[in-house]
Amino acid sequence: MKIAAGGPRTEPRPLRSAAAAPGGAALAMNRGFTRKSHTFLPKIFRKMSTQSSKERPENLQFSFLDDDATISTVKESKTLFIIRGLPGSGKSTLAQAIQDQYKDACKIISADTNKIIPAIRSSIPEDYSKLDEDLVDYCKRDISVVVVDDTHHERERLDQLFDIADKYQYKVLFVEPKTPWKMDCLQLKDKNQWKLSVEDLKKMKPSLEKDFLPLYYGWFLSKKSSENLRKTGQAFLDELGSLKVFKKESKYFLPAEDPKVKLDLTSYFAKRPPGVLHCTTKFTDFGKAMGADEYAQQEVVKASYGKAFTLTISALFLTTKTAGARVELSEQELLLWPGDVDKILPTDNLPKGSRAHITLGCASGIEPVQTGIDLLEFVKLEKAGNKGDDIEEVGGGKLQYFGNGMWMLLLSKKIEVKALFSGYYGKGKLVPTQGSNKRGSAFNPCTII
């Protein structure tokens, strides 16, 4: 084991169970789990946990270091690892372990290397400007794995990182050391390189003990999977827009005062959610939403955080408000799905997972949450016996029309996409779907005449 920047080499002690572990940010959830310590988890998760557990000390067992599927997904993604914890807790050792796993695909940015002394501050020091220059440079170069090693005890500083992640479409993973002493200020006094006192450490401790919940949890697609799904969505728009039957029904997309205007579907779906394409599971509003804490504390959520999944896309759909992809959840994925989101009205009784979707675009003035509501409208029609009118076989499958501008393409070959289960921590502001840079848009221009 390499020496951590936060202190001298120390042999790892046995890690306490997740329930007994002291403190820690709630979103550093990927707490290496084993058959013995998590016998209450579903078997499918226990099976996933044992791949390389014997190859590392227990305090370095993370899915992004040991699980082959997760490592593969991270390599084809753009991921910003935010390592969080008190000085001397083992952050630099963890950062080095990530570097060792991903090698040339990984870059580490360290506050310690930049001589930024951790402390309680009234404002973020200018010293971070050089660190952020390096971060932006790596993001511009599309480095697959970027690790920021710092205490990250200040929300203002984290918001700066979230903005950069949004701008360059990086998914964020919060991780913290699993060392037994990570919240023990007496031990950390001797381990931290800055010679901080117990009192100094105790001042930072409360902000690192508090749960840090995202705006929402979900599965965030790899860069490769995102690009493939966007291309498929673009092909759907292109083909749909060329069909005479769609042109006859395009009145639902046109302003009543000027029904003869040219319809550009890409301009019509002018916005998309920020960051990478994703399938939301739970909206937590940074802990303020109803049921947020209960969801975040579920063992299956903690165990899955930072782990790879393969989602199945069964259909693409389009309404006058949104364009999206319908996600078919597996038994394993349904364990992460809340039980109260698959309804529009309180009386609705729809199958669990009915709302699972990926938003590809939104019409002007429409929020991404509408995509899930639109999909539930399709599901309600299907449940009522309305399977839609079969229009014709197109390139990707069978096209159906449900009336009122509601179109669905049932894919003849379902699409599998790789994704990491994580959280979105940014501001959530919609961004344009059109763009000329390579980070690019969900759709390219498509005009219906």
Copy the structure tokens of residue 226. 């995102």
- Residues contacting residue 237 through CB under 8 Å, at least 6 positions apart: 265, 266, 318, 323, 443, 446
Closest to 98 measured CA to CA, from 115, 75, 132: 75
Among 158, 131, 144, 187, CA closest to 25: 158
**Token pair for 31:** 């707490």
Active-site position among 38, 152, 153, 278:
278
Pairwise CA distance, residues 190 & 168, whole Å: 39
Contacts of 290 (CB under 8 A, 6+ apart): none
Active-site pick, 38, 152, 153, 357: 357
* Residue 357 designated active-site: yes
Contact of 420 with 219, CB cutoff 8 Å = yes
> In the numeric block, which tokens belong to residue 270?
């002018």
Identify the residue whose tokens are 């179109």.
Answer: 407
Sequence-distant (≥ 6) Cβ neighbours of residue 259 within 8 angstroms:
251
Residue numbers annotated as active site? 278, 357
